[in-house]
Amino acid sequence: MSILTQYIDKLKKHQNKVLVLMDQIWVSGCHFLIAIILARWMGIEAFGLFAFIWMVLLFVSSLHQSFVAIPMMTFAPSKSKIERKGYFNNLLSIQIIVAALSFVFGYFFCFFAEIFFPEWSLKEVALPTACFVAFYLMHDFLRKYYYTNDKVLYAFILDLFAYLPQFLIIISFYLSNNLSLYNAILGIAFGYAFASFGFIFSPFFKQKIKINLFSNVLSQHWAFSKWLIGKSLLQWFSGNSFILAAGALLGPAAMGAIRIAQNVIGVLNILFIALENYLPIQAAKIYSKDGIKTLTEYLKTISLKGGAFTLLTASSIILFAKPILNVLYGTSNAESTLLLKGFAVLYFFVFMALPLRMILRTTEETKYVFYAYAISTAFSLSLAYPMVKNWGLAGVILGLVLAQVIMQIFYLYVIKRIIRDTPLKAKNKFPTIQNSNI
């Protein structure tokens, strides 16, 4: 057998893994490039308003993940083929209702925001924002549906159909001198709508709207997700309170600068996503076989290796912050350079929290993750306004880093107690799937 044949056989064997990686690179790459294009072509202030609307989308998306996507990916694999079909038919009805509610939320949120920030004129983009939020959730539902049913190729094609039109529309608006915040949001919403409707009415999606088990599926999802929803709310406010304070006190240009820094650092998300997919399974096996001590040693090794890579990457970004911004966005200043360096530091701390949370997930002590986010959110809501008011963008970075440090100190305290109280070996103790979702 030739080397080429062996390579092809290996590729076929790991086809889904390769497709998952390709899909994630495609989606992350598209978000990265679209943010660069909009920042360069629309200007920092208009891009700041887009960043604010993106934060609203992430807020709704986090609730959608907790209530629809995560339960779906947990419940569906355990069902028989017949049960799964009925489950998805009823879940499709729930998803459409959730998307409709998100449309209403997105529309009226822009009017509500106009009361506090009349100079931002968000009322003018209420309709495209509502479409953006609703169709993004429909697209995300279909993507997770295909992943749940082990049809990764369909998910990849879905993402191709979602993002290619976005690029074409944005470029067309720019070339015709019509690129505005309104048209940018509308173009992105169209891409998600095009992919969603194209697949829902295609032979690749065989589910139909039914409500015969609607109340059963609804109650099942609510029972599973009510704590996840609370955690999502805490996580969103913990991570975004300082950014919202920056927008309120310093204006949309500050939010645009923050989003630019986040976008550059976002390249590290590929490592985080890979570890989130790999670590839970390995950690569960180690804990089940050898107990808490071996688990902590394993995750210490991951922390050292992954931390070294993250530190090296973050250090490189800090060292070359100005030329990176010049190449990607065509300009840089003291504030944008400070933000990029600050977010590089922040992402190092974000990585170091990952193995700590993994210990709590694996030992089924996920309530402490919820408590950690509650403490971090209390800190952020209490001090975001005064820190940003007194120290500006430096206050944003300092606040976000301190919020992470507070959470990690709490994790370390709890983990130390768990190690002390847990037998050296946990026999036949395998964490339940749902508890790994917090």
CA–CA distance, 170 with 403 (Å, rounded to integer): 36
Q: How far is CA 323 from the centre of its chain?
A: 27
Range from 18-22, 34-38, 105-109, 296-300 carrying the lowest mean pLDDT: 18-22
Q: What is the DSSP letter of 64?
A: H
pLDDT in tens, 63-79: 999 899 888 887 888 78
**Average pLDDT, stretch 120-139?**
95
Q: What is the DSSP letter of 266?
A: G
Helices within 251-268 (DSSP H only)? 252-265
CA–CA distance, 68 with 303 (Å, rounded to integer): 32
**Average pLDDT, stretch 3-27?**
67
Helix axes 321-329, 252-265, angle to 10 degrees: 110
pLDDT grade for 80, boundaries at 50, 70 and 90: confident
Residue type for position 54:
W
Nearest Cα to Cα of residue 282 among 267, 265, 259, 299: 299
Radius of gyration, alpha carbons of the chain: 22
pLDDT grade for 226, boundaries at 50, 70 and 90: confident
pLDDT in tens, 246-264: 999 999 999 999 999 988 8
Helix axes 252-265, 15-42, angle to 10 degrees: 150
Q: Give me the pLDDT at residue 13, please.
A: 55
Tokens 């009823």, residue located: 90
CA–CA distance, 183 with 172 (Å, rounded to integer): 10
The pLDDT of residue 429 is above 50:
no
% the chain with pLDDT above 70: 91
pLDDT grade for 17, boundaries at 50, 70 and 90: confident
- 386 and 399 Cβ atoms separated by less than 8 Å: no
The pLDDT of residue 203 is above 90:
no
How wide is the angle at C-alpha 141 spanned by C-alphas 138 and 144, nearest 5°? 150
CA–CA distance, 64 with 246 (Å, rounded to integer): 26
- The tokens describing 211, both together, are 């409500």
The pLDDT of residue 355 is above 80:
yes
Nearest Cα to Cα of residue 195 among 148, 149, 137, 152: 137
CA–CA distance, 353 with 276 (Å, rounded to integer): 12
Q: Give me the pLDDT at residue 306, please.
A: 86
Residue type for position 422:
T
Q: Give me the pLDDT at residue 71, please.
A: 87
CA–CA distance, 208 with 412 (Å, rounded to integer): 48
Extents of the domains making up the chain? 15-212, 227-438
Q: Give me the pLDDT at residue 215, please.
A: 84
The pLDDT of residue 212 is above 80:
no
Q: Which residues have CB under 8 Å from 206's CB, separation 6+?
A: none
pLDDT grade for 59, boundaries at 50, 70 and 90: very high
**Average pLDDT, stretch 84-113?**
93
The pLDDT of residue 387 is above 90:
yes
3-state DSSP assignment of residue 436: helix
Burial of 175 (0-12, 13-18, 19+ CB in 10 A): exposed
Q: Average pLDDT, whole number, for the chain?
A: 86
Q: Give me the pLDDT at residue 278, please.
A: 66
Q: Give me the pLDDT at residue 315, please.
A: 93
Q: Which residue has the higher pLDDT, 426 or 114?
A: 114
pLDDT in tens, 133-178: 999 999 999 999 998 888 889 999 999 999 999 999 999 999 999 9
Q: Give me the pLDDT at residue 102, please.
A: 97
Q: Give me the pLDDT at residue 55, please.
A: 93
CA–CA distance, 143 with 154 (Å, rounded to integer): 8
pLDDT grade for 7, boundaries at 50, 70 and 90: very low
Tokens 């979702």, residue located: 437
Q: Give me the pLDDT at residue 131, please.
A: 97
Helix axes 15-42, 152-175, angle to 10 degrees: 20
Nearest Cα to Cα of residue 218 among 96, 393, 45: 96
Report the Cα–Cα distance between both ends of the chain, in Å, rounded: 46
pLDDT grade for 432, boundaries at 50, 70 and 90: very low
